[in-house]
Structure 1
């Protein structure tokens, strides 16, 4: 076939008017942003859901201390963690990730809750286990480093240098009256 003798402007005009494939090109331009936002929304929802599960487990587990069950059965830190892990059956690697901090105070005014992340964004594991005696004010905190995958487009949920988000759940309460058989702190 001989080369086209049509003027070059005619070829450009036909190319400009041809709309075949325009939807595919537009989708290719918009798709990465759409999927990035979609995955960011899904990840944010998972973080909120995991955080809510951690809060619920913290409240349920704290009840063992508030009612004196943990003190009267002389639960150790490991046994209390086992009781917590029994409630964290989904979404968490409890044995390797959950840290439990239980501290008792004589009054609410003495409560000191410091953030366990240093200036280099590293988690400082300074957890204790002191469930207190009846009438003591107790703060139970659970920590879990949650992995974050979508951090682009300005949505950076991480608060640890390892690219994870430290989820924290807290319960503060005053122990109910119970027969104190001697509590130990570790």
Structure 2
């Protein structure tokens, strides 16, 4: 038994087997946080572009709608604005997890930057109805882009704050619309 205790041939392999999961977990967690910050920055850039689109009155005046064979509108201004927002997203963010909330307020002091609470069904699908009210000329408009970013839980490291292992990213743009015609 004492000879077995003095044997050191497999010690490195055992030490590696004990340390490798922790090191690998830290590496994955670091990469996940880096990707989360990259996604947040892409969403912020998209929110700035969407805010500018409303600021200049393009969103309010460019609604064309898509009509079906009977002449009925099949899209709403909110859907058309979301389609525009999707074109502003970086390629790493898909349009399926994007939610748009646009409101106008009476003054800058009335702006709330808190994320709206999303309501989910039993299959973890968002069923919340978000606002789309870009206001008129001279309105103070709050544009919020919300994105459900999928995350991975590693060795007790979990940054999910939404059901279905997702982290809600929020980007906000606040501006007063210009005069437009």
Q: The TM-score by the shorter chain falls in which range?
A: 0.7 to 0.9
The reply on whether 1:137 has 2:126 as its aligned counterpart is no
Q: Give TM-score scaled by structure 2 length.
A: 0.81
Please give the secondary structure, in 1, of the residue aligned with 2:13: helix
- The answer as to whether partners of 1:43 and 1:150 remain within 8 angstroms in 2 is no
Q: Give TM-score scaled by structure 1 length.
A: 0.79
- CA distance 1:72–1:122, change in 2 (3 Å): closer
- The answer as to whether partners of 1:122 and 1:161 remain within 8 angstroms in 2 is no
- CA distance 1:16–1:114, change in 2 (3 Å): closer
Please give the secondary structure, in 2, of the residue aligned with 1:59: helix
Aligned equivalents of 1:66 and 1:157: distance in 2? 34
User: Which residue, out of 114, 128, 131, partners 1:125?
Assistant: 128
- The answer as to whether partners of 2:102 and 2:144 remain within 8 angstroms in 1 is yes
* Count of aligned residue pairs for this structure pair: 166
Q: Once the 2 structures are TM-superposed, how far is the Cα of residue 124 of structure 1 from its aligned partner? A: 6.3
- The answer as to whether partners of 1:117 and 1:160 remain within 8 angstroms in 2 is no
The answer for the alignment partner of 2:30 in structure 1 is: 41
Please give the secondary structure, in 2, of the residue aligned with 1:178: coil
User: Which residue, out of 152, 155, 165, partners 1:152?
Assistant: 155
The answer for the alignment partner of 2:104 in structure 1 is: 104
The answer for the alignment partner of 2:6 in structure 1 is: 17
Alpha-carbon RMSD: 2.3
4+ aligned runs moved over 6 Å, structure 1? 118-122
Structure of greater Rg: 1
The answer for the alignment partner of 2:71 in structure 1 is: none
Aligned equivalents of 1:142 and 1:173: distance in 2? 15
User: Which residue, out of 173, 178, 181, partners 1:176?
Assistant: 178
- The answer as to whether partners of 1:144 and 1:167 remain within 8 angstroms in 2 is yes
